[in-house]
Amino acid sequence: MLANTLRITRPTRGRPLSIGNHFRAQSFREDQFGGAMDPLLMVDHFRMNEPTFGLHHHAGFSAVTYVFEDSRSAHQNTDSMGNNLPINPGSLHWMAAGRGVQHDEWPVGEEPETHGLQLFVNLPRQKRYAEPYAIHLESADVPVYAAEGVRVRVVAGELKRVRSPVELPQPFSIFDGFLVAKANLDIPVPQGWNAWIYAVEGQIEISVGDETSMLEQGYSIALEGFGDASSACIASRTPSHFIMLAGLPVEN
């Protein structure tokens, strides 16, 4: 696949989502990106300070929670597989729901507030009806790529020979990055993959080949169909925090 087949969507702001006074999110859905978000189905950048959803069912995809390092509290996870554990700040919990699982989650501790991401990732067709299972990665086990003005937590996947120990049901990367003002980072992306990039804080510029897109805080873009030896260059105009999620598209 050639680099010039890459499609970059327009910058898109998350849809505000509130439940009472205890759950607030910027919510992104696949229909906002015209298929370029695949294999992502949705991403919520959320803050939660008390139980919100109650016991609920997932099937056919992976339900993923990543808690940011600055979260005021852990996020308790419980499910019908017997898991009952906190997702501490900086940690990842990936639940491959497969044929189906019951699940609940809530912030814990005194004056709790969880700050993080919840995402649904479409499973490959042959795994959608498999026995459900969960993968947990503690914050202390997340490796970090560091360069001048750059710090990236390699939560899943590999970045410049820094590789996460987590083994996921499918090829997928999660990069949680921090840039000082006027820093830049080049992120290689495998051929045929899609990527989703979100400005959590600050202002960043994304360049692929001759195309450039500016993201203000709260906005994201999707990039569909990277070519051989393609990469995304992320440059900061201000001190910035970004998330990049990337994976191989999934056949429906």
C-beta neighbour count of 242 within 10 angstroms: 24
Per-residue pLDDT band for 252 (boundaries 50, 70, 90) equals low
Residue 1: its pLDDT value, please? 35
Joined tokens for residue 214: 């500016």
8 Å CB contact between 194 and 222: yes
Residue 2: its pLDDT value, please? 39
- Three-state SS annotation for 134-168: EEEECHHHCCEEEECCEEEEEEECEECCEECCCCC
Kindly report, residue by residue over 12-65, the tens digit of the pLDDT: 999 999 988 889 999 999 999 998 999 999 999 999 998 888 889 999 999 999
Kindly report, residue by residue over 119-172, the tens digit of the pLDDT: 999 999 999 999 999 999 999 999 999 999 999 999 999 999 999 999 999 999
Q: What is the pTM of this model?
A: 0.95
Residue 84: its pLDDT value, please? 94
pLDDT score of 227 more than 90 = no
Residue 4: its pLDDT value, please? 53
Per-residue pLDDT band for 3 (boundaries 50, 70, 90) equals very low
8 Å CB contact between 195 and 225: no
C-beta neighbour count of 109 within 10 angstroms: 12
Q: What SS3 class is residue 244?
A: strand
Residue 138: burial class (beta carbons within 10 Å; 0-12, 13-18, 19+): middle
What structural domains does the chain harbor?
14-140 (2.60.120.10), 141-247 (2.60.120.10)
pLDDT score of 191 more than 50 = yes
Average of per-residue pLDDT values in the chain: 94
